[in-house]
Amino acid sequence: MFGGGDDAPELTRLQNLEAAHDPLTFAMLRQAGISPGKICADIGAGAGSVARYMAEQVGGEGRVDAVDLDQRFLGGLPDCARQVTLDITKDDLGEAVYDIIHARFLLIHLHEADRAVDAMWRALKPGGALVLEDANFHAAYSASPDPSISESVNNVGAAVLEMFRGRGLDPGFGLRIPSMLDARGAESVVVETSAPLVRGGTPMGVLSGESKHFLRKDLIATGLASEEDVAVYHRATHDPLVWGMYHCTVSVLGLKPRI
């Protein structure tokens, strides 16, 4: 969805995404039992903050595979981490290789999300932990009391939902993850949700504004948001006096049964 743009803005967008979401992700990884010696993978590793955190936790005796189709933004990984170029919807991740596998904001973009989860599930050791995190864009809503802002922000929110549906994707994908883990027989499933109400100019605000700016042609093509709406949205998400809720993140941890 975000391929094909300039590298510098995309790297900044990924870094804002990391700053907004890493605290919850790292807490879920600790709950998954990340510790020295573990073998881990981050699928769709992006700019690599999760892979770097995993590497710090597993140390020299462990290993982290930072898996991504597109390795442009990965770098600066420590020795115990390696970059792996692979398409999780097509390529083999192996069988019973990993203690912990994580993927964030990956599945919502994939038509073959079930195949991707199958590959991750197969690659987990018995007793291993799968941590999947994704967005629910139905939760987005303006908190501005100014109708000239809130109307535009909510028009863009409606266009986001329609854009996903038009591509045959689910804008509320995060909500489906617990059932996906149940269907594979996961044990001890834990679900955390986070829908922060944030000021413009925060990493979450800027991430949302820059993402919609990048996608503006597709959003306007839905007929639900105008060019002016996208411009108002962009200003609102960068203005510290404007509050908004931009999505909910659903984080799910499940354990693969020991045989």
Find the residue with minimal CB distance to ligand SAM: 46
List strands edge to edge, sheet with 124-136: 81-84, 63-67, 39-43, 98-104, 124-136, 248-255, 187-194
Cα–Cα dist 173/233, whole Å:
23
The minimum distance between CB 192 and ligand SAM, in angstroms, equals 15
Please report whether residue 187 would count as binding ligand SAM according to CB under 6 A: no
Indicate the residue among 222 and 249 with the shorter CB distance to ligand SAM. Answer: 249
Structure tokens at 167: 């591509």
Please report whether residue 70 would count as binding ligand SAM according to CB under 6 A: yes
Interaction mask 96-135, ligand SAM, x per CB under 6 A:
--------xxx--x--------------------------
Pair type for strands 187-194 and 248-255: antiparallel
Q: Do the beta carbons of residue 254 and residue 181 sit within 8 Å?
A: yes
Which residues of the chain form beta strands (DSSP E)? 39-43, 63-67, 81-84, 98-104, 124-136, 141-142, 187-194, 197-199, 243-245, 248-255
The minimum distance between CB 13 and ligand SAM, in angstroms, equals 9
Indicate the residue among 18 and 99 with the shorter CB distance to ligand SAM. Answer: 18
List the one residue from 10, 16, 18, 202 that touches ligand SAM (CB under 6 A): 18
List the one residue from 10, 54, 58, 68 that touches ligand SAM (CB under 6 A): 68
Q: Please, which of residues 200-259 interact with ligand SAM by CB under 6 A?
A: none
What string of DSSP letters covers 166-192? HTT--TTGGGGHHHHHHHTT-EEEEEE
The number of residues that bind ligand SAM (CB under 6 A) is 17
List the one residue from 5, 37, 69, 82 that touches ligand SAM (CB under 6 A): 69
Please report whether residue 88 would count as binding ligand SAM according to CB under 6 A: yes
List the one residue from 12, 35, 83, 89 that touches ligand SAM (CB under 6 A): 89
Cα–Cα dist 124/2, whole Å:
29
The minimum distance between CB 146 and ligand SAM, in angstroms, equals 30
Q: Do the beta carbons of residue 161 and residue 171 sit within 8 Å?
A: yes
- Residues of this chain that bind ligand SAM (CB under 6 A): 14, 17-18, 44-46, 67-70, 87-89, 104-106, 109
